[in-house]
Structure 1
Amino acid sequence: MVIARINFKNSPNKEEMSMSKGTVKWFNADKGFGFITPADGGKDLFVHHSEIQAGGGYATLNDGQEVEFEVGQGQKGPCANKVQPL
């Protein structure tokens, strides 16, 4: 039997985790996805409607809308996770 010790004391809390900012390049509400241009000038990131944190239900974004997000890794490359409209 293997027992693992997890040290939560050194785990980052929500305030310590770095959120990125960007602008919605385009979002297709019918298909439920689009792209965000990071404010730091990196490559555009794919965003799926399921990653939009906007109070439940089917959420969409507007072209040109400012957002905050975490950068994640999707099947086809970098993507935006936990997207919060600003």
Structure 2
Amino acid sequence: MKTGTVKIWQKERGYGYITPDEGGDDVFVHFNGIDMDGFKSLIQGEKVAYVLVQGYKSYQAAQVRPLSVEAADV
């Protein structure tokens, strides 16, 4: 899994962008790509883990999990 930081999250629209820790272009993330129960949302500045998948136009984030949730599940 890759890691990064939520750069922008548009709660009203259900999408945003992640800045990868390894550098490179920001990665698009849609709320459908967030792996959590209940209301799926991210917080600007939050650290996340994710997988890159081929989207409609380019790569996007999938299986997105806040790192704090992963640590709590261990």
Same fold by TM-score greater than 0.5: yes
TM-score normalised by the shorter chain: which range applies?
0.7 to 0.9
Which segments of 5 or more consecutive residues in structure 2 lack a partner in the other structure? 68-74
* Kept in 2: contact 1:33–1:49 (CA 8 A): yes
Among 14, 20, 27, the alignment partner of 1:45 is 27
Which segments of 5 or more consecutive residues in structure 1 lack a partner in the other structure? 1-18
Answer 1 or 2: which has greater helix percent.
2
Q: Which stretches of structure 1, 4 residues or more, deviate above 2 A after TM superposition?
A: none
Which of 1 and 2 has greater Rg? 1
TM-score, normalization: structure 1? 0.75
Among 60, 74, 84, the alignment partner of 2:55 is 74
Answer 1 or 2: which has greater strand percent.
2
What is the match of residue 29 of structure 1? 11
How much is the aligned-residue C-alpha RMSD, in angstroms? 0.8
Deviation digits for residues 39-79 of structure 1, max 9, x if unmatched? Answer: 00021000000111112x33100000000000111111010
- Secondary structure of the 2:32 match is helix
Give the percent of matched residue pairs that are identical in Structure 1 and Structure 2. 42
Among 34, 40, 54, the alignment partner of 1:59 is 40
